[in-house]
Amino acid sequence: MDIRKILGEQKEKLDSGAADKGGKSGSEKKVEIAEPEKPEQIPHEEPKLIKESAGQRITDLENQLRRIQAEFENYKKRTDKEREMLRASGSAMMVMQLLPILDEMEVAVNSIHHNAGAKEVKAGMEMLYTKFVSLLNKEGVTEMKALGESFDPYKHEALRTVEGDDEGKVVEVMKKGYLYKGSVLRHAMVVVSRKKDVPGKAEEGKSEEKEEAKEKNEGKEAQK
């Protein structure tokens, strides 16, 4: 038996077993590792404000401001025109309602020229006055109550004062005041009362004034 041959076969067995355990053969195998896939980039637009230059942005804002100002001016002109048309329309309607009264006034004047009696003239004037007041009431104009009322500076204008039993009462109306839908249209010109001075109190007041004046004079002389 050849001992060398036997030893050579055993050595080959040992080498092949070690190669199987390590998972490698005599020549090492290269293992390739796959790289992870990069996420797909989604294209997007940058904001417009970032792209625009500062000068362009200022120009856009100025143009926008000019447009707003022009629209406001047009709106103002339009509203002024509409307001003027409404005012003119209201005035025209008021005049239209006054025309019948004017016709009746003309008839009354012609009657006076034709030697109408005082009774007829008086009746005609009263009728015209009543119709005119009715028309004003219809439009929201009403007469202000003043006689006997307490003086109110927001409604009345005092022309003078007179002595009376009450303080601050309207005792005479020189010119009537009128309200338009509850607001003062014209102040009433009135005469206002003030309380009469009581003789005893008046004399007492005068004596007190004299005493005060005397004390002041004595004080001045003492200082000298």
Question: Tokens in use for 17?
Answer: 């077993």
Per-residue model confidence (pLDDT) at position 82: 82
What gap in Å lies between CA 158 and CA 156, rounded to an integer? 6
Residue 155 lies in a domain: yes
Range of the domain at 194: 142-224
**Per the structure block, which two tokens stand in for 96?**
């239209």
Comparing 10 with 79, the larger pLDDT belongs to 79
pLDDT in tens, 103-159: 887 777 777 777 667 777 778 788 888 888 888 888 888 999 999 999 999 999 999
147 domain-assigned: yes
Q: Do 116 and 166 fall within a single domain?
A: no
* Pair (206, 162) in one structural domain: yes
Q: Who has greater pLDDT, 215 or 222?
A: 215
C-alpha–C-alpha distance, residues 113 and 187, integer Å: 37
Q: Is residue 75 part of a domain?
A: yes
Helix, strand, coil content of the chain in percent (nearest 5): 60, 15, 25
Domain identity same for 105 and 147: no
Give CA separation, 39 vs 36, 42, 44, in Å: 9, 9, 15
Distance of CA 177 to the CA centre of its chain: 30
**CATH number of the domain within which 83 lies:** 3.90.20
- Tally of domains in the chain: 2
